[in-house]
Amino acid sequence: MSKSRSFEINQNLASPNRNITPITTELDHLGRLKVGGCLLSELAEQYGTPLYVLDETTIRRSCEAYRESFRKFYPGESLVLYASKANSSLCISNLVASEGFGIDVVSEGELLTALRSGIPGEKIVLHGNNKSINELELAYKNKATIILDNQHDIDLLRKIIKENDQPAKVMLRFTPGIECHTHEYIRTGHLDSKFGFDPKELIKVFNQLKDVSFANVLGLHAHIGSQIFELTPHIDLADIMTDVLKKGRDIGFPINDLNVGGGLGIKYVSSDDPPSIQDWVKTVAKSISDACSKKNLSLPRLLCEPGRSIIASAGLTLYKIGSRKDIPNGKTYISVDGGMSDNPRPITYQSNYTACLVDRPLAKSDEVVTIAGKHCESGDILLKNVHLPSSSSGDVLSVFATGAYNLSMSSNYNRIPRPASVIVANGESKMMQLRELPEDLLRYDLLPDRFIAKG
């Protein structure tokens, strides 16, 4: 096997979603990896492993790219909403709010987190295909916008909001007949999706909500997928959404908000080639502007909901290497002290990642190994056939682009506690979320009396 470098630092400062690593990634004088001015091996020693690390500068640069691109390319009003399902915490919610963003939430927990972080309800939208009474009441009480996903949402709102109460601010979500995930692009008359009204139902829904006292329809929402590498689908989406916008306004609704969802992809491995944030915004903005001009519609306020493309590339996960298994004429397994409970994406979606040894990131690779998690599950594999220099037990491994859908999808499988999470900037690290302890997992356990052994 010819030896090659297992890892390279390649930075795009303008659009961080096109990087595998955070934009502050650098080497110290000994060739060891630093992020946010912090030595990664020292973070592992200080906080323990597994450890989620987020780079504040990368998050802020991503927010800036979205914010400035809308100012440049869209002549109307706009608002970027951070999709908090990607990574929800008080710290992250407060950070994106400081960049002028609103936030998109999908549960009472995410909504409460956003509110407690200081985001005003007027800049929060609540999603969900099966919202509870509690979720709807909390959103309504705090003046958040509610995305009506189905008839069930309408029926619950009718019960919650009394005749003389202020109406809820609502948007209608519908399936646009477009589905796009990475390189797959499907356009159909109807999508098999649990989310949103069928387009054929919208006139009926509009008529049902006309002149009601409990809801004020102010906008439309549609979403076409995630980890998107194509721009063309957004042109089609603009045409579809402005058709519905025209119908709604013709019926008499003061619709001024169009929410095109999110879904812009990021670079997980060297072969990934997502569009830049600037190109994505330019395409969306121009498509909506052109469609409105063609149909003689005044420009709506344009909303979008990026999550992954803001925070994924800002994150990495640190592990310590433990055991090794060499199969004669077969694979070599390197096991780490985490796995599917802190990153379920490989076993769930067969997702690929990039990794390196943090104190020898540019060393020539000596072997091809499979990085295995510690869980009692044969499918708990984080990376397959990755080129690495020879490693020893105790070495620290970094897996990159784990800022999105790792912590937020983490679990306690095998009763393994969730990792701590820290944010780094200017050579300082601050704890965002504490590490769970084994004792924490017993807090909500109860042992019924009849199971207690009699002495």
CATH number of residue 269's parent domain: 3.20.20.10
- Residue where a domain stops, chosen among 280, 311, 342: 311
Same domain, 139 and 277: yes
Per-residue pLDDT of the chain (455 residues; tens, 9 = 90+): 344 555 778 678 899 999 999 999 999 999 999 999 999 999 999 999 999 999 999 999 999 999 999 999 999 999 999 999 999 999 999 999 999 999 999 999 999 999 999 999 999 999 999 999 999 999 999 999 999 999 999 999 999 999 889 999 999 999 998 877 665 655 544 567 889 999 889 999 999 999 899 999 999 999 998 899 999 999 999 999 999 999 999 999 999 999 999 999 999 999 999 999 999 999 999 999 999 999 999 999 999 999 999 999 999 999 999 999 999 988 999 999 999 999 999 999 999 999 999 999 999 999 999 999 999 999 999 999 999 999 999 999 999 999 999 999 999 999 999 999 999 999 999 999 999 999 999 999 999 988 876 65
**Predicted pLDDT at 138:** 98
Same domain, 360 and 290: no
Q: Give the closest residue to 241 by CA, choosing from 193, 177, 146.
A: 177
**Predicted pLDDT at 188:** 47
Asked, for residue 265, whether it belongs to a domain, the answer is yes
- Residue where a domain stops, chosen among 311, 331, 356: 311
Asked, for residue 27, whether it belongs to a domain, the answer is yes
In this structure, what CATH number is given to the domain that contains residue 50?
A: 2.40.37.10
Same domain, 266 and 317: no
Same domain, 211 and 305: yes
**Predicted pLDDT at 181:** 67
Q: How far apart are CA 142 and CA 134, in angstroms?
A: 12
Strands 301-304 and 315-326, how do they pair?
A: unpaired
Domain count, the chain: 2
48: left (phi over 0), alpha (psi -120 to 50) or beta: left
Same domain, 139 and 42: no
At residue 448, φ and ψ (nearest 5 deg) are: -55, 150
**Predicted pLDDT at 193:** 82
Q: 280 lies in which domain range? A: 57-311
Q: Give the closest residue to 22 by CA, choosing from 402, 445, 433.
A: 402
Catalytic residues: 376
**Predicted pLDDT at 177:** 86
Contacts of 304 (CB under 8 A, 6+ apart): 66, 80, 81, 259, 260, 261, 262, 281, 284
Asked, for residue 231, whether it belongs to a domain, the answer is yes
Same domain, 165 and 302: yes
Q: Give the closest residue to 277 by CA, choosing from 301, 242, 307.
A: 307
Asked, for residue 450, whether it belongs to a domain, the answer is no
Same domain, 46 and 65: no
